[in-house]
Amino acid sequence: MVFVNHEKAPDGLPVVPLWINGSAVPISDKDSLFPVVSSVEDKPIHYAVSASASTAVAACDAAASAFTSWRKTSPTFRRQLLLKAADMLESKAQEIAGWQMKETSCPKEFAGANVKLGPIYVREIAAATSEIRGTVPQRMTGPDGNEMEGLTVVVREPVGVVLIIPPWNGAVILPLRAISMALAAGCTIVVKASELCPRTHSMLLECFEEAGIPKGIINMIQAKREDAVAVSEAIVSHKAVRKIDFIGSAAVGSKMGQLCAKYLKPILMELGGKGPAIVLEDADLKKTAMYCAMGAVMDHGQLCFSTERIIVHKSVYDRFVPILAATMSKIPKAGDAVSKQSATHAYDLLVDAKEKGATFLCGGPEYLSGTSLKPTLVTNVSKEARIADEETFGPSASVYVADDDEDAIAKANDSAYGLNAAVHSTSWEHAYNVAMQLEYGQVHINNVTLTDSPGAPIRGVKGSGWGQSNSIWGIHEFSVEKTLYFHPSGAGGILSGH
């Protein structure tokens, strides 16, 4: 098992180890341990071993060695293993959800959705292995005007060792998606688990191990924040590592992008968002208010898909806003922040907005506890306020009025981000016309911004990242196309005229 119970910290609490080449790495230095703290309990619940540059390299070496044989496995073999892993994930769902709640302080309902949806993503990716195909391009015309002889075949092969850096929010769905896409493509993996929820992430690895994954295919480490930069560079610079999958904030994503550029390594990034919900003049106002409020407060607003801005057509503004405020006010608590620092950040943005002239339709900069803020709607937001285009990662949303559709579209697109958006209208044609002009990777019609479909591609545009995840689109991110030219015997080549 990944969670080695006989390894204890000095105070007797258990330890999440490093997992390299199919086994836990013995703890050689107690100083490498760091506490994993529950924000609600305000105390350590266990410890984790922080990787060093040398142990990070060892994880890469193990993945590189395993890649030699793993790349030769058939898509059918990999599909069967993923399906077994999905079964194991379901059998351990309650235990995984329990660890997610302990480590990230998320609500029970949110953890429950994670463990329910996680295996669905794994199975969809497993099914998509049947779509891994090559092509046979048409033969080209030579210098003499005649069709060239021979055969050209394009095959798709795994990119190599992949570094996966999953986040603590969506702590089950997002790492499972990344791991499954890379495995399905035939890649081996080094996972740099979140230092905020290493036990949750290690539980996912346990499920793959118990499903029969060969040793070295998935290696998992974690690092305390002061070690993270050195550990990340040791992995990215490793010659066997060929791609990185990073999900996190735009600030850290920018640094990761620069690090990958330094070593000429491609990176798939899903970063932050400032998700707008546009309320058109023909929207169902009661349903829309529910979706907007839900989108703003889910998991204390700590999701990149959260509804951060609500843009309302002026013809329905005076009717909609009271409904929205009443809906939001009925939510007594939106959960807890993953840490006191996260709660403080969300609070500080509300204070800054107030100091720069904003007013509150409900709530305000108010703590319900040391890690929970009151659900809040803010309006009259100045462009100079931080909240105008900075993720709050708290249970709040800013409300704006739009003169018409064009103004609503302009306000929605006036952001550095481009991840998820929503459009609310009782006319699909009306909603479609607006949605097509939004600079976002996903646009949801008459639903919350924080939804996703396992069978459809998901991506960010602008400052929300690049590359695609889910199903065959995600598998393709971890494979490359190679062109093979079969020239006929005795051919003189393209420049010979034969």
Integer Cα distance of 207 and 193 in angstroms: 15
In the CATH hierarchy, which top-level class contains the domain 275-445? alpha beta
Handedness of CA 158, 159, 162, 168 (dihedral sign): negative
The DSSP bridge pattern shows strands 188-193 and 14-16 to be unpaired
Fill in the amino acid letter for 195: E
User: In this predicted structure, what is the pLDDT of residue 150?
Assistant: 85
User: In this predicted structure, what is the pLDDT of residue 5?
Assistant: 46
Active site residues: 270, 304
Structure-token pair, residue 234: 């040791």
If the chain, 498 residues long, is cut into consecutive pieces of 10 residues, what is the mean pLDDT of each piece? 61 93 89 93 95 97 98 97 98 98 96 97 98 90 77 95 96 98 98 98 97 97 96 98 97 96 98 97 98 97 96 98 98 94 97 98 96 97 97 97 98 97 98 98 96 93 96 97 88 52
What are the C-alpha distances in Å from 168 to residues 99, 103, 192, 227?
Answer: 12, 9, 11, 18
User: In this predicted structure, what is the pLDDT of residue 498?
Assistant: 41
For the entire predicted model, the pTM comes to 0.94
Integer Cα distance of 19 and 202 in angstroms: 9
Residue ranges, CATH 3.40.605.10, the chain: 4-271+465-481
Q: Is it true that domain 4-271+465-481 has CATH number 3.40.605.10? A: yes
